Amino acid sequence: MKALYQVENGYMGEAYTRCYVWADSESEARELALERFAFEAERHPYPPDYVNIVTVEAIDSESFASFPSDSGFELTDWRAGYYKMTNGNA
């Protein structure tokens, strides 16, 4: 299951620079954030150390589901009835 990670690069602009990533592991979060930091470094005149990853922290691993069916969410009777009543145009 995926988790939300906050990845920081140690760069300080108006605030510390961070990237939020949904990933399966810390290493995947690091790779995805590195891609994003590198992309931003190409677009702006940031110093070379802008793409250095300083911290990777898992923030949340309980509430994310790739698909609604993975969440365990089930329609209640009134919602199912409303959905049928509106012919799926809710």
Kindly state whether residue 23 falls inside one of the protein's structural domains: yes
**What is the number of structural domains in the chain?**
1
Contact between 33 and 50 (Cβ < 8 Å): no
Gap between the Cα atoms of 74 and 26, Å rounded = 31
Domain containing residue 22: 3-85
Higher pLDDT, 65 or 54: 54
- Bridge partners of residue 19, in order along the sequence: 7
Q: What pLDDT does residue 81 have? A: 53
Q: Which residues of 1-40 are buried (b: 16+ CB within 10 A; e: fewer)?
A: ebbbbbbbbebeeeeebbbebebeeeebbbebbbeebeeb
Of 62, 57, 58, residue with least CA distance to 1: 62
Tell me if 7 is assigned to some domain. Answer: yes
Tens-place pLDDT, residues 10-53: 888 777 888 999 888 999 999 999 999 999 888 988 888 888 88
* 59 domain-assigned: yes
Asked if the structure places residue 90 within a domain, the reply is no
Q: Does 67 map to a domain?
A: yes
The amino acid at 44: H
Predicted TM-score of the model (pTM): 0.64
**Residue 75 domain flag:** yes
Confirm whether 43 is domain-assigned. Answer: yes
Please check the confidence at residue 82 and state whether its pLDDT lies above 70: no
